[in-house]
Amino acid sequence: MDQLYATRTSRMKASEIRELLKLLGQPGIISFAGGIPDPALFPAEAFANAFQNALGPDQQAQALQYSVSEGYAPLREWLVGYMRGVGVECDIDNILITSGSQQALDYLGKLFLSPGDTALVGWPTYLGALNAFDAYEPRFDQLSVNGNRGAAEYRHAAGGSPIKFAYLSADFANPTGETVDLRGREALLDLADELDCAVIEDGAYQALRYDGDPIPPILALEQARKGSIENCRAIYCGSFSKTLSPGLRVGWVVAAKPVISQLVLLKQAADLHSSTINQMAVYQVARDCFDTHVPMLRRTYAARRDAMLEALSQHMPDGVDWARPEGGMFVWVTLPRDMNGADLLAQALETAKLAFVPGQAFYPDDTGANTIRLSFSNSDEDMIREGIRRLGVVLRA
Ligand SMILES: Cc1ncc(COP(=O)(O)O)c(C=O)c1O
């Protein structure tokens, strides 16, 4: 059958992260691999009540029925208020609910990319975004947010291929944990104007800031320049996966109305709409609990991040570097140049029952072999200290 598959499938490959998640169940393993929330922190009781309400006599007919592609209106209204809180003025018609923000990335790839078009992405960048865009057969070029590449250089590198968008996580990126500062965000808007391309901002971790002052989303900065969201080229993708629950698959996109209209058509063709009952439950839990639940997550994850950073200082040999994230779930570690993260993982699993993600998969050009990603979100402080101690032993060996 292989010869029947479309050419785009030749670029599809199994995700190392997904393969690794299979290891999480083994006894004794300490896993810093998956970038997933701690299930002990899910607002499970609030969801139990929300689902009970949705299935009660008043709401069940709606909850179990087909619904509109744009998404559950009360949830979109709640999101209008949430986005206002982070500096974006929009109305309900600027918002589309998606089945996780991963679906938004797929739709945006489908909307913008013809085969051979150029997508600018961080080097490294979120593997799920690379996989989503890859299906539309683009060329990837390295987005440099520090402004040391000008528009002419990007155009030259593209060699006539249209540059369609720049994709980035501006806050606590996956995998590096890095945040783009205000100057970097403004410079990116200048660049996008010069290149006449879209900016896709992935805000998956934005609510999980542990210290430092929040920086407005790129869409908010562009709105401040251009007056209305309708004049903006920035597109914001949000998610409830890291704050409330990833299993319910509820995310959202905020953009100018013509972009949302196109995305609605794509959604109608793909899955008609996201799960009605899940959207209703997420709405109720967001409305009732978001403002207390997320500060609790911040306190808990901040303590885990600090435990990991302290343990790294204590146990890492010379030549190993890492960055301090201001939020999110990841610490990005750079090993000495001649070391290989995948080999280190094989050794760590075998000799230390320790898992993490080798960094190379996050690079579109397969460089970065001497990097690894450590997630601190799903282990308590004692496990983190023990896991980093084991990593130190494996590295010294
Ligand atoms: C940067 C980033 N974007 C998007 C996603 C997808 O999240 P979801 O589809 O659950 O909203 C993830 C998941 O790990 C992520 O790390």
Report DSSP letters for 321-361, one per residue: EE---SBSSEEEEE--TT--HHHHHHHHHHHH-EE-EEGGG
The rounded Å distance from CA 246 to ligand 1 centre is 9
The label of the residue with tokens 């990837």 reads: 140
Could you tell me the distance, in angstroms and rounded to a whole number, from the CA of residue 277 to the centre of ligand 1?
21
Query: Would you say 98 and 339 are in contact if contact means Cβ atoms under 8 Å apart?
Result: no
349 CB-side CA count, 13 A: 16
CA of 204 to the centre of ligand 1 (A): 6
For residue 249, the ligand 1 atom closest to its alpha carbon is 10
Q: Which residues line ligand 1 (CB under 6 A)?
A: 35, 100-102, 126, 128, 169, 174, 202, 204, 239, 241, 246, 251
Q: Say if pTM beats, i.e. exceeds, 0.75.
A: yes
pLDDT at 202 over 60: yes
d(CA 133, CA 168): 13
Percentage of residues of the chain with pLDDT beyond 70: 97
The residue whose CB lies within 8 Å of the most ligand 1 atoms, and thus the one to mutate among 79, 97, 98, 126, is 126
Instruction: For residues 83-112, give the mean pLDDT.
Output: 98
141 — phi, psi (to 5°)?
A: -125, 155
Cα separation, 339 vs 330, in Å, equals 20
What is the pairing mode between strands 118-121 and 139-142? parallel
8: pLDDT strictly greater than 90: no
Overall average pLDDT of the 27-47 stretch = 94
Q: Which SS3 state, helix, strand or coil, does residue 294 take?
A: helix
pLDDT-based confidence at 16, cuts 50/70/90?
A: low
Distance 240 CA to ligand 1 centre (A): 9
Instruction: Say if residue 141's pLDDT is above 60.
Output: yes
Using CA positions, which residue lies closest to atom 12 of ligand 1?
204
Helix axes 276-315, 73-85, angle to 10 degrees: 40
CA–centroid distance, 105 to ligand 1, in Å, is: 9
What is the per-residue pLDDT for 139? Answer: 97
Q: How many CB atoms lie within 10 A of CB 373?
A: 26
pLDDT computed for residue 121 by the predictor: 97
Residue 15's pLDDT band, with cuts at 50, 70 and 90, is low
pLDDT at 132: 96
* CA-nearest residue, atom 3 of ligand 1: 204
Nearest CA to ligand 1 atom 15: 204
Task: Name the strands in the sheet holding 198-202, side by side, starting at the edge strand that comes first in the sequence.
Answer: 95-98, 251-254, 234-239, 198-202, 163-168, 118-121, 139-142
Q: What is the DSSP letter of 199?
A: E
Other Cβ atoms within 10 Å of 13 Cβ, number: 9
pLDDT for position 10: 82
Protein residue with its CA nearest to atom 2 in ligand 1: 204
Instruction: Please compute the mean of the pLDDT values over residues 270-296 and round it to a whole number.
Output: 98
pLDDT of 206 strictly over 70: yes
Whole-number Å distance, alpha carbon 35 to ligand 1 midpoint, is: 9
Distance CA 395, CA 397 (A): 5
Ligand 1 centroid from CA 178, angstroms: 16
Q: How far apart are CA 223 and CA 238, in angstroms?
A: 17
pLDDT tens, residue by residue, 356-373:
999 998 998 889 999 999
Distance 196 CA to ligand 1 centre (A): 26
Nearest CA to ligand 1 atom 14: 35
Question: Angle at the Cα of 77 (from 76 to 82), degrees rounded to 5?
Answer: 90
- pLDDT grade, residue 17 (50/70/90)? low
Q: Residue 331 pLDDT > 60, yes or no?
A: yes
Instruction: Return the best residue to mutate from 239, 245, 253 for the ligand 1 pocket (most ligand atoms within 8 A of CB).
Output: 239
Q: How large is the average pLDDT for residues 320-347?
A: 96
Write the CB contacts of 362 (distance below 8 Å, at least 6 apart in sequence). 124, 125, 126, 127, 130, 175, 368, 371, 373
Tell me what the mean pLDDT of segment 30-57 comes to. 96
Whether 13 has a pLDDT exceeding 80, the answer reads no
C-alpha to C-alpha distances, 394 to 158, 310, 385, 390, nearest whole angstrom: 42, 18, 14, 6
Q: What rounded mean pLDDT belongs to the chain?
A: 95
Rg (CA), the chain: 21
Joined together, the tokens standing for residue 116 give 């051979």
Look at ligand 1, atom 1, and give the residue with the nearest C-alpha.
Answer: 174
**pLDDT the model gives residue 211:** 95
Closest ligand 1 atom, CA of 241? 10
Q: Over 70: is that where the pLDDT of 236 sits?
A: yes
Closest protein CA for atom 16 of ligand 1: 174
> Which atom of ligand 1 has the smallest separation from the CA of 251?
11
pLDDT at 19: 65
pLDDT of residue 27: 83
Q: Which of 131, 241, 279 to mutate to test the pocket of ligand 1 (most atoms within 8 A of CB)?
A: 241
Pairing of the two strands 30-31 and 354-355: parallel
Q: What is the largest CA-CA distance in the chain?
A: 64
pLDDT tops 80 at residue 22: no
Q: Is 15 exposed, middle or buried (CB count within 10 Å of its CB: 0-12, 13-18, 19+)?
A: middle
Q: What is the number of other CB atoms lying within 10 angstroms of the CB of residue 222?
A: 25
Residue closest to 371 by CA, chosen among 323, 329, 325 = 323
**What count of other Cβ atoms lies within 10 Å of the Cβ of residue 108?**
30
Asked if pLDDT for residue 18 goes beyond 90, the answer is: no
Confidence tier at 23 by pLDDT (50, 70, 90) = low
Atom of ligand 1 nearest to the CA of 126: 1
